[in-house]
Chain A
Amino acid sequence: MSAELPRRSAAELAALLASGETSSVELTQAHLDRIAAVDDAVAAFLHVDAEGALAAAAETDRRRAAGEELPELAGVPIAVKDVVVTKGLPTTAGSKILEGWVPPYDATLVERLRAAGLPILGKTNMDEFAMGSSTEFSAYGPTRNPWDLERIPGGSGGGSAAAVAAFEAPLAIGTDTGGSIRQPGAVTGTVGAKPTYGGISRYGLIAMASSLDQAGPVTRTVLDAALLHELIGGHDPRDATSLPDPLGPLAAAAREGATGELKGVRVGVVAELGGEGYQSGVRDRFAESIELLRGAGAEIVEVHCPSFEYALAAYYLIMPAEASSNLAKFDGMRFGLRVEPSDGPVTAERVMAATRGAGFGDEVKRRVILGTYALSAGYYDAYYGSAQKVRTLIQRDLATAFTQADVLVSPTAPTTAFRFGEKLDDPLAMYLNDVATIPANLAGIPGISVPNGLAEDGLPTGFQVLAPAREDARVYRVAAALETLLESTWGGSILDRAPELEVAP
């Protein structure tokens, strides 16, 4: 039984725990074994905490045995992207500048996971400070896509997506600033969701772009994502931007969607996303998915969001600008790496510059300098100020589109997983991976990516569903419906078709 436990969904595992057919300790150990077996090849984890996870599992088993009423996912192990602070566990954000840093506090979402009794298996790999779309910019080496170990797993949350795709964890936490949950989901055949901005607390997320960042679930099924989202989401008084409203019934929406019935739902295809520049297999799978939705009773309409043409540009101004300020605290004075200049006076200013020069990777340097420039005296209006206006235009276009449709859909990413090194020489080419996912972050609306097949190259593609702010339930409903429809045509999950990973001796 143990060996196949990691193949189950979190909801299935929760049921097994509730019925007593397995224990959290057994479950956690099974996943630790799986990690030991495959993570040398996949490199999804930066840190595995076997001891802590098993202790938490034992505690949850004890609580359950004592008759305590537990949340549905209690006892199901989870991996956490290394951008989220975890008390007592090293947290690096994929950067050398935080090598060895152990936070003295937990992020709110981690507190909620612990209170609910989910054992934390470890911290997953990511592009440094969440800047990237391939996890190649991790200072600790890349993570490999379980579908093809010579290819990227997406980014910045490639570690969480790969861990879930490789059955090393049934659940993972990711963060999404421009697509960093959704795009890895698309290229690894997993589910990734970004909530409405403010839907899940940012307290304890190492900030990249404060007005864009959101934590979210990384899973293999839509229901699992909804369950996890409900568990960790909701108002947090320690995050002034967190929504005061209650989340709404997300798991119920997923279950409703799973009936495959979408009569009366208007699905808007965004004309600006999914055309030129999108791989043919991606477009084909997308078109097929649209047909499935139509068959389920949905009304398909075309919508136009002309301002999306400027979305990438606006994002690559707003995000670096905010990041340049958020990353200023990494200076070698209070925590993390400290590097002294090799010659000349050792002053605070020079140590800061030497530390950051040594501790930040190329992509981080690019974005911090770009962002500093965009905010500089004389340039603010043209760059950052203008980008904030584009944001308004995007919100307006979406508001109009949502009068015509209940949800908007597009392919999640323009291509399937590319090979390592393929896009490293051209930052712009790398940025284009996020062209479909970025608008949701700029506008603050919820989005999900659900696997919708394999392209001509045999690699997974993703289908993105977007909804108006606070209407997260809609994305879960529609995504769950598509998942049901697709899995019935596939006869199982897309991951059934992933190659078996070689198990380490």
Chain B
Amino acid sequence: MTETTTALVPYEDATTRYDTVIGIEVHVELGTRSKMFCPAPAVFGEEANTSVSPVSLGLPGALPVVNEAAVEYAIRIGLALNCEIAETCRFARKNYFYPDIPKNYQISQYDEPIAHDGWLDVELEDGTVFRVEIERAHLEEDAGKNTHVGGSAGRIHGAEYSLVDYNRAGIPLVEIVTRPITGAGERAPEVARAYVQTLRDIFRALEVSEARMERGNVRADVNVSLRPAPDAPFGTRTETKNVNSFRSIERAVRFEVSRQAAVLDAGGSVTQETRHFHEDTGETTSGRVKSDSEDYRYFPEPDLVPLAPSREWVEEIRASLPELPAARRRRLQSEWGFADSQMRDVVNAGALDNIVETVAAGAPPAAARKWWMGELARTANERGVALAELPVTPAHVAELQSLVDAGRINDKLARQALEGVLAGEGTPSQVVESRGLEVVSDDGALLAAVDEALAAQPDVVEKIRSGNQGPVGAIIGAVMKATRGQADAARVRELVLQRVGEG
């Protein structure tokens, strides 16, 4: 069953000789309060089987009833993905035997999904935009959870028995299926990753799910196939499951490309199968071969009547959609006047919302960007933490900038103040006060310092008078040193020239 050594072709090599086609199926758990087809709570604690009703337990006699909120969420998702919302659609039974589905059928949608024929523009890190065609989005119910006991490392093969918890059974899911994604070429892994990330951001913006991949709120299955050229027919695809993070998506695609290229290079053919991704090794291994057992015997669910979302309701939902992440980014970029590359850097660094809040707190956008992408990003990097984890808030940054704008501190002093904030000494104003970082603005004190510096370098005066501006810097430097950097350099220059002029 397990391959001894998997032959691989280096990724870059593989992509020069084969064209990659991918397809992605994403399941998102909807954040409704009750389950898809019954009123058992959708939010539950640790204790197993404490959130089931006769319906979600699949007891004889129990009947499903559709959760209206789940339908609304599904329509929201469909609209955000530019889909057509079905005028009428039905649920269907997908029949197969497995202990984690209590009825031994799953209520899903087959040939009548609630949303279909949409698209999503996905922005890659370098700014390239790639359009992913969406075939469909449909509603279905989740399965329970099996825990395998005994055997090796808790995996099924060699397990003695399984324990089943049906808390999750019946949780609403929306499944989103792409059309085959062509034209990504060697960037396919990136596109796959970016697509799922973009979806995740949309789910959060729509407030239909917490959308945390690490918690299983968002699950992705990745299909990969190779063909000798972009105009050749599609090759045989594999489906890789258990891809639990964005990075894994990218790695799984890369691995499959390398693996399938090796198979094809050797003159073999790719087996159509389901594969399992391994986090630790970044490899995929063979799972179940798709076979006769996949005859799901779909038929329209007789216990549920068709859904016919009125066009009025759909438009109501459309009107209530929040601004989606991509549109928001474009608007902010325009408002802030950032260049494309600047905006991209901000997004990639995860600093977008920090800047939004800093601007909201009164700072100019360019300044906000300067602090978050400069000093703070550097600090976060040094400390090995995310920006969000630094003990400094957008309000702090805005306050800091306002001190600079008011002339009370200069850039260098501001950096020192920031250090103080990061050290937990208080707000910028408090740090400036306690550390005595204020710029010396009293002309009297400055003149005294200027005079002292001039006196110390008498020959400089002559040089300046004769038109040589160079030594001015030296005087300014001396004054800055004398004032421990707390003088406004521009004002010092003015005073030096004034003094020399008075000569």
Interface residues of A (CB under 8 A from B): 84-85, 91, 93, 98, 101, 103-105, 107, 202-207, 209-211, 237-241, 321-322, 325, 328-331, 333-335, 348-349, 352, 372, 375-377, 380, 384
Contacts and interface: CB of A to CB of B under 8 A. Distances in A.
Given A241-B304, A321-B299, A335-B60, 20 more contacts: A84-B61, A103-B60, A104-B54, A105-B59, A204-B62, A205-B61, A206-B61, A240-B66, A240-B303, A240-B304, A325-B95, A325-B299, A329-B58, A329-B102, A329-B104, A333-B99, A334-B57, A335-B59, A377-B297, A380-B297
Nearest to B57: A334
Contacts of A377: 295, 297
8 contacts: A203-B63, A240-B64, A240-B304, A334-B58, A335-B59, A335-B60, A375-B297, A377-B295
Interface of B: 54, 57-66, 93, 95, 97, 99, 102-105, 162, 164, 295, 297-299, 302-305
A202 B303 CA distance: 9
A240 B62 CA distance: 11
A325 B164 contact: no
Most buried by A among B58, B61, B103, B164: B61
Contacts of B61: 84-85, 103, 105, 107, 203-207
A258 B102 CA distance: 49
Secondary structure at the A interface, as helix, strand, loop or mixed, is: loop
Contacts of B93: 325
Contact of A239 (B60, B63, B102, B295): B63
Given A328-B105, A331-B97, A348-B99, A103 B63 contact: no
A322 B297 CA distance: 11
A328 B65 contact: no
A241 B303 contact: yes
B104 A331 contact: yes
A492 B284 CA distance: 80
Contacts of A241: 63, 302-305
A84 B164 CA distance: 27
A125 B60 CA distance: 17
A328 B102 contact: no
Interface centre among B60, B95, B103, B305 (most CB of A within 10 A): B60
Contacts of B299: 321-322, 325, 375, 380, 384
Of listed A84, A237, A238, A241, residue having the most chain B CB within 10 A? A238
Nearest to A98: B60
Contacts of B104: 328-329, 331
A348 B159 CA distance: 12
B58 A93 contact: no
A395 to B, nearest CB: 16
B69 to A, nearest CB: 16
A372 to B, nearest CB: 7
B63 A206 contact: no
Given A240-B305, A322-B302, A206 B60 contact: yes
Contacts of B59: 85, 103-105, 335
Contacts of A103: 59-61
Contacts of A91: 60
A352 B104 CA distance: 11
A328 B94 CA distance: 12
Contacts of B295: 376-377
Nearest to A101: B60
A206 B305 CA distance: 19
Given A238-B65, A348-B99, A349-B97, A329 B60 contact: yes
B97 A105 contact: no
A211 B59 CA distance: 18
Contacts of A376: 295, 297
A331 B164 CA distance: 14
A329 B54 contact: no
Contacts of B60: 85, 91, 93, 98, 101, 103, 206-207, 329-330, 335
A321 B95 CA distance: 11
B305 A329 contact: no
B162 A348 contact: yes
Contacts of A210: 302-303
Nearest to B54: A105
A375 B96 CA distance: 12
Nearest to B93: A325
A159 B302 CA distance: 28
B9 to A, nearest CB: 36
Nearest to B303: A210
Name the residue in B59, B64, B304 with the highest tally of chain A Cβ atoms < 10 Å from its Cβ: B59
Contacts of B103: 328-329
Nearest to B305: A240
A377 B103 CA distance: 20
Nearest to B53: A105
A209 B303 CA distance: 10
B101 to A, nearest CB: 9
Nearest to B64: A240
A403 to B, nearest CB: 26
B102 A334 contact: yes
B65 A240 contact: yes
A330 B299 CA distance: 20
B62 A328 contact: no
A364 B66 CA distance: 30
A103 B54 CA distance: 9
The 8 A-B residue pairs with the shortest CB-CB distance, nearest first, are: A328-B104, A375-B297, A210-B302, A211-B302, A206-B60, A204-B61, A85-B61, A377-B295
Contacts of B97: 328, 331, 349, 352
A380 B61 CA distance: 26
A378 to B, nearest CB: 9
A203 B303 CA distance: 10
A114 to B, nearest CB: 16
Contacts of A325: 93, 95, 105, 297, 299
A209 B302 CA distance: 9
Nearest to A240: B65
B297 A203 contact: no
Contacts of B164: 333
Contacts of A211: 302
B385 to A, nearest CB: 46
Contacts of B57: 334
A444 to B, nearest CB: 12
Nearest to B166: A334
Nearest to B96: A328
B253 to A, nearest CB: 30
A93 B299 CA distance: 25
Contacts of B63: 202-203, 238-241
Contacts of B305: 240-241
Contacts of B64: 240
Contacts of A372: 297
B487 to A, nearest CB: 77
A377 B94 CA distance: 12
A375 B95 contact: yes
A335 B297 CA distance: 25
B95 A328 contact: yes
A239 B65 CA distance: 7
A377 B299 CA distance: 11
Contacts of B58: 329, 334
A203 B105 contact: no
Contacts of A204: 61-62
Contacts of B62: 105, 203-204
A269 B304 CA distance: 34
A475 B163 CA distance: 52
A321 B298 CA distance: 11
A174 B65 CA distance: 24
Q: Give the residue among B59, B93, B297 with the most A Cβ atoms within 10 A.
A: B297
Which one of A98, A325, A349 has the highest number of Cβ atoms from chain B below 10 Å of its Cβ?
A325
Nearest to A334: B102
A335 B58 CA distance: 10
Contacts of A334: 57-58, 102
A241 B164 CA distance: 31
B150 to A, nearest CB: 13
Contacts of B297: 325, 372, 375-377, 380
